[in-house]
Structure 1
Amino acid sequence: MALALVSFLSIIVMWSLDLPVEQFRLPWALDILPFSMLFYCIGYLLSEFILPHVQQVSQTQTLAHIAFAVVSVAGLYLLWLFDGWTKLEVNLNGASTNNPFWMLCAAMLGFVSSLMLCIAIDCRALRFLGRTSLTIMCVHEPVKRMMIFIMAKIVGVSTDALRANFVYALLVTAITVLICIVAHLILDKIAPALVGNPVR
C-alpha cells in the first residue's frame, strides 16, 4: 500500500511539474505496477473484512443480487459519463495519462462496479478467474503479443488492423487467458508459492 501511494504521489508531482513521465519506463511495467498493487491491497482488505458479510447476505437474499447488479450497472454508466466529462485519456501501454488523479478516480469507480457485478453473478468460473488473476496479470503481456503476431500472420493483416477488429481482439484475449490459466495450473503443481498457494 505504501509503495502504491508513494508511486502515485511521485507521478502526480512529475505530471504537475510537466516532466516527461512517459520517458521513464521500467522492465515488466514496474513503473505502472503500483497502480494495480493499490487495488490488490484494497481487494485483500475487502476479502478479509467486508466481503464475507456481503456474500453471506447475497446468498440468503435474492433481492441482494439484484441490488448489487443495479449498483454495478449504474456505476459503469457513471464511469462512462465521468470519462466524457473529464476528457480522461489513459494509455497503460505507454504509461501515460492526461490526469493521474482522475485516472485513479475512474479506476476506483470501475473497480467497485466490477466488484458489485461479480458479487451479483457469483459463479464458480468467476471465482476461479479471481484466483488466477495475479498470474494472468504477470504472464499475459508476452503471451498476448505472441498471439497477436501469430494471428496477424494467419489472417494476413497488420497487427494494428488485428487489434482494431473486435472479433479478432476478442479471440486473442480468450486464447491468451486460456494459456495464462494453463500456466497458472502448471505453476500451482510445481511451485505453488509463486501463485500464492501454500506448499503441499
Structure 2
Amino acid sequence: MNLILKLLGRRINIIRNRIRYIDYVKGLGILLVILGHIGYGSDYIYIFHMPLFFFISGLLLSNLETKDAIQFLSSKIKGILVPYLVFSIISFIWWAMIERHLRDQSIPVMKALLNIFIPYVGASFIYNVVLWFLVAILFSYFFVFFLVKITNNHGFIMGLTSIFVFLLISQINEPKIFELSIAFSGGQLCMTAGYIIRKYKIGDLKELENTKNIYLLIGFLSGLFGIWIAHYFNHDAVNMMNNSYGNLLLFILGAAAGIVLIFSLALILNRINLPVLSFLGINSLVIMAVHDPIKRIVIVVIAKLLRQENEVVRHEMFPALLILILVTIVSSVAAIIINKYFPFFLGKGKKRKLIN
C-alpha cells in the first residue's frame, strides 16, 4: 500500500484527531466484506459483517437530541445519496456496455437502470450488488434520528421500540423497495444498539483504548465462540441483503459476537501503527462501492491463470486470499484517485485526507 501511495505521488497526511482503533475496525470490516463477497468463509462472515457497519454508524452518532432535523438529514443525504448515485451510474454504464455481454446472468437493461432511482433489493442490483447497503443505511439513519426525537432520547424506550420493530419487520419480506425491510429491521436494530451503548456505556470512545489486554483477549475468544455457536445452530440463515436472519436470537448473538471480536482485535492492534489498515478504514465507503465489479474481473483473471473454474478459486483459501489482496489494492488505488481528483463523487467539496 505504501508503494502504491508513493507511485501515485500522494503525500501521506497525518490526521491526529481521528480515533485509530475505529479506523482499524472499519478496515478489518471492509476486508471481511470483500472476502465474503469473493465467497471464502462467507457463511461465517455474513453472520456479523453488515451488523458491524450498522453498529459502528450508530456508535459514531452523538447528541442527536440537540441536532436540527434538516441539517442532520441533509448531511446524511449528501454523504450517502451522492456516492450511491455516482457509483450506481458508473457501475451501470460498465455493466450495460461491457459486462452484461460476458455474464450468463442478466436482467433487462431498463429494469437495472430504473433500479438506481427506485432501488429494489435483489437481482436488480446486478451491476453492483453491494450498493444496497448505502440505501439501507441512509434509511436506518432516518429511523434512528426520529426514534431519538420521538422517545426524547430515552434509552430504555428506544431499545424496546427498536427490538419491537425488528421483530415485526424481520418477518416481512416486503417492502423491499428502497431497502426499507432491511433498514427498519436489522439495520436500525444494530445502529440503535451502537447509539445506546455509546450514550449510556462508553461516552468518550477514546476510553476504550485503555482496556486491559486480558479483557481484550477474553472478548476476542468469546467473539469467536459466539460466532461458532451462531453458525452451528443458524447455519447459512443470515443474509441482511435479503432481510433473512433465521433464528432471531441467534442472529443477535452472532452479530454481537462478531462486533465484540472485531473491536477486541482492533484494540489489540491499536498498540501499533498500521497505516494500511487505517487507510482501508478511512476509505471503507469508497472501497465498499467499487470492489464488487473489480472483484468479478479479478476472479476471472485468476481462474484463467490457474486454469480452474471461477467457483473453485472463490472457495479455496490461497486463490481467495490472492483475489482479496488484488481487489483490495485495485480498490485502494481507485480510492486514492477519487479522493484526489473526484471528491465530489463522495459529496465532498475538497480533497479528503487518506490516511491516519
TM-score after normalising by structure 1: 0.70
Instruction: Identify, as 1 or 2, the structure richer in helix.
Output: 1
Distance 1:24 1:32, change over 3 A: closer
In 1, Cα distance between equivalents of 2:332 and 2:187? 20
Q: Tell which has more relative contact order, 1 or 2 (C-alpha 8 A, sep 6+).
A: 2
4+ residue stretches of structure 1 with deviation over 6 A?
A: 4-7, 23-27, 40-45
Equivalent of residue 13 in structure 1, options 159, 171, 175: 171
Structure 1: gaps (5+ residues): 15-20, 59-63
Distance 1:90 1:196, change over 3 A: farther
Structure 1 residues 25-60: Cα deviation after superposition (integer angstroms, max 9, x where no partner): 779xx57874568657766885x94421112x25xx
Equivalent of residue 116 in structure 1, options 236, 242, 264: 264
Contact 2:182 2:240 (C-alpha < 8 Å) held by counterparts: no
Contact 1:192 1:198 (C-alpha < 8 Å) held by counterparts: yes
3-state DSSP class of the match of 2:171? Answer: helix
3-state DSSP class of the match of 1:157? Answer: coil
Q: 1:92: Cα distance to partner?
A: 3.8
Q: How many residues align?
A: 184
Alignment partner, residue 160 of structure 1: 311
In 2, Cα distance between equivalents of 1:44 and 1:109? 17
Q: 1:148: Cα distance to partner?
A: 0.8
Alignment partner, residue 84 of structure 2: none
In 1, Cα distance between equivalents of 2:338 and 2:316? 33
Contact 1:32 1:92 (C-alpha < 8 Å) held by counterparts: no
Q: 1:144 corresponds to which letter in structure 2?
A: K
In 2, Cα distance between equivalents of 1:196 and 1:49? 29
Q: 1:141 corresponds to which letter in structure 2?
A: D
Q: 1:53 corresponds to which letter in structure 2?
A: E
Q: 1:97: Cα distance to partner?
A: 3.5
3-state DSSP class of the match of 2:266? Answer: helix
1:183 equivalenced with 2:334 (yes/no)? yes
Contact 1:188 1:197 (C-alpha < 8 Å) held by counterparts: no
TM-score after normalising by structure 2: 0.43
What does 1:1-200 correspond to in 2, within 5 Å? 1=140, 2-3=142-143, 11-14=169-172, 21=173, 34=183, 46=198, 49-55=203-209, 57-58=210-211, 64-84=212-232, 86-90=233-237, 92=239, 95=242, 97=244, 99=246, 101=248, 102-122=250-270, 123-124=273-274, 125-192=276-343, 194-195=345-346, 199-200=350-351
Whichever of the two has the greater Rg, that structure is 2
Alignment partner, residue 62 of structure 2: none
Structure 1 residues 8-37: Cα deviation after superposition (integer angstroms, max 9, x where no partner): 5665122xxxxxx4x98779xx57874568
Distance 1:194 1:32, change over 3 A: farther
Structure 2: gaps (5+ residues): 1-139, 145-161, 352-356
Distance 1:98 1:40, change over 3 A: closer
How much is the aligned-residue C-alpha RMSD, in angstroms? 3.7
Amino-acid identity (%)? 22
In 2, Cα distance between equivalents of 1:7 and 1:173? 36
Q: 1:166: Cα distance to partner?
A: 0.9
